[in-house]
Amino acid sequence: MTPLQPKLRAFIVAVDYSDILAVTLPYNQHHFHEITVITDQAHEPEILAILGDLDLKDPDRSFGVYTTDLFYRDGATFNKWRALEACLSDFGRHGWITFLDADILWPQDLQGALDNLQVGKLYTPERLMMNTVEVPFFIPPEPEWSQYQVHRNKGEWAGYSQILNGLDRALPKPPWHEIDWEHAGGADSFFQNHWESHNKIRPDFKVLHIGPAGENWFGRSSMYLDGSLPQERGIRLSQVQKMWAARRGKKGREKFAGEKLSIEHREESVNDNIRQEQKKATEG
């Protein structure tokens, strides 16, 4: 981080991703002044262990975990966006914010690429795809990253690494993302559409994506770094295939109809949900 780079706040969703996060977070952490990992209760202990190791090495940075079951509320399989938005509501939508995927590596030295960021711009670096992960896994030297292909969707500033300012007038009233998706896809594509094309910037560095893209929208299905496979891999990959099949031949918003939930698009937080649970308990 150079003196001209603003302090970045990273928000990372990581559910059943501790194997990869244990690799990427230590590699990336020096770029961020504040890091919050969003997870569920089952995976909270693993996340706390990773953050605890980082905190001991760098006490000047802020590391936190946000635990919620909003991923699975109201029939969702893995509603990443509802959990993320609740975290933003509780932790604050201020400053320079980075939405960072757990399977993304940034170069160690950005060489000033994020100096002098401008409010009103959305910054997303291009993504190099390490589709095949070898066991045992090692982070390749950065000069070798160029052997990997840039993700084919070059026209979208997707949610793997989105950098923006919370005061940006392009942002809608919270929640910023559509929170009615059944899965972890979709909402980031519509989110980046809030910016005009001339306000979407590719900073002068590329990031490395560990593993294939598009497999984990319904929960972790990609191989763990030790070579084992998630127990529900087959089910989750089938869900992805059915989703693409259902979209085929449809246009506009119509093709996403089967992926949306019947929930109100409103700002909420974990505190809200605690109050709702208490009310239900009282009524019961």
φ and ψ of 271, to 5 deg:
-60, -40
φ and ψ of 122, to 5 deg:
-110, 125
Q: Which two tokens stand for residue 94?
A: 């201020």
C-alpha dihedral (50, 104, 238, 220), degrees to nearest 10: 0
Q: Which two tokens stand for residue 174?
A: 């919270």
Q: Strands (DSSP E) along the chain, which ranges?
A: 8-13, 34-39, 62-67, 96-100, 104-105, 122-123, 126-130, 149-150, 161-165, 200-201, 206-210
pLDDT surpasses 80 at 276? no
Question: What class is the 8-283 domain?
Answer: alpha beta
Residue 263 or residue 202, greater confidence: 202
Alpha carbon distance 246, 259 (integer Å): 9
Average pLDDT of the residues in 201-214: 97
Q: For residue 144, what are the contacts with CB-CB under 8 A and spacing of at least 6? A: none
- Can you give the residue ranges of every domain in the chain? 8-283
- The answer to whether the CB of 258 falls within 8 A of the CB of 75 is no
φ and ψ of 23, to 5 deg:
-95, -50
Average pLDDT, the chain: 92
pLDDT surpasses 50 at 215? yes
| Residue (of 206, 52, 13) closest to 125 by Cα position | 206
Residue 251 or residue 194, greater confidence: 194
pLDDT surpasses 60 at 6? yes
Q: Is the peptide bond prior to 175 cis by the omega test (within 30 degrees of 0)?
A: yes
Q: What is the pLDDT of residue 275?
A: 40
Q: Is 38 helix (H, G, I), strand (E, B) or coil?
A: strand
Q: Token match 């770094």: residue?
A: 225
Q: What is the pLDDT of residue 280?
A: 39
Strands 104-105 and 206-210: antiparallel
Banded model confidence at residue 284, pLDDT cuts 50, 70, 90: very low
Lowest mean pLDDT segment, chosen from 18-27, 95-104, 247-256? 247-256
Q: What is the pLDDT of residue 141?
A: 98
| Residue (of 197, 233, 196) closest to 216 by Cα position | 233
CA distances, 113 to each of 4, 31, 110, 127, 281 (Å): 10, 12, 5, 15, 52
**For residue 149, which amino acid is it?**
Q
DSSP 154: T
Beta bridge partners of 13: 38
Q: What is the pLDDT of residue 265?
A: 87
Rounded to 10°, the helix 44-57/18-28 angle is 20
Helices in 170-269 by DSSP H: which ranges? Answer: 187-192, 233-247
